[in-house]
Structure 1
Amino acid sequence: MPGPEGFDYEVRGGEVVISHHGRRATVLRGAAAARFLADVEDDDEQELMARVTGNYRRGNERTAKNHPRNAGR
């Protein structure tokens, strides 16, 4: 399964702006921004930004929705 891609971040003053395919996904401020900048040096940037923005789904939502155990939900 391919990993996340298309994420980019920019530091603006005390903020970190994370975008996905050129569109702003989230803005981190304060302690969250500092924690992100410390973690981005050690971890995979794309994976970290996907976790921070909540964009971690891989396209199997429709399959799960149609599964028999989820019928009637």
Structure 2
Amino acid sequence: MSRIDKRNRLDENPFHYRIAKDQTVFIDYQGKLVKTLKGKEAERFLDKLKAAEDDKTVQLHLAKITGNFKRGNERNGRAH
């Protein structure tokens, strides 16, 4: 897995997930919601997480399901 996470960013556990009563999965990156999964997609994803051997594998699955959402052009939130 060292070739996938070259900068060891997943060691910091930037992703977290929550499961609602209706089995909807909410995925957060550094405390901000980035993806919501429902239905069959959520079921398949939860099965992958259950089969994961360690925390880094869980982080990798979370990173892959969110896709390439960070492009480097995000703002700090301050007014320009």
| TM-score, normalised with respect to structure 1 | 0.69
Give the letter aligned to residue 49 of structure 2: V
Name the CA shift for 1:42/1:31 in 2 (closer, same or farther; >3 Å): same
Gap runs ≥5 in structure 1: 60-73
| TM-score, normalised with respect to structure 2 | 0.63
Moved over 4 A (4+): none
Gap runs ≥5 in structure 2: 1-5, 73-80
The alignment-based identity, stated in percent, is: 29
**What do you get for the CA RMSD once the two structures are aligned?**
2.0
Larger radius of gyration: 1
Partner of residue 66, structure 2: 53
Partner of residue 37, structure 1: 46
| Deviation of the 1:38 alpha carbon | 0.5
Name the CA shift for 1:25/1:14 in 2 (closer, same or farther; >3 Å): same
How many residues align structurally?
58
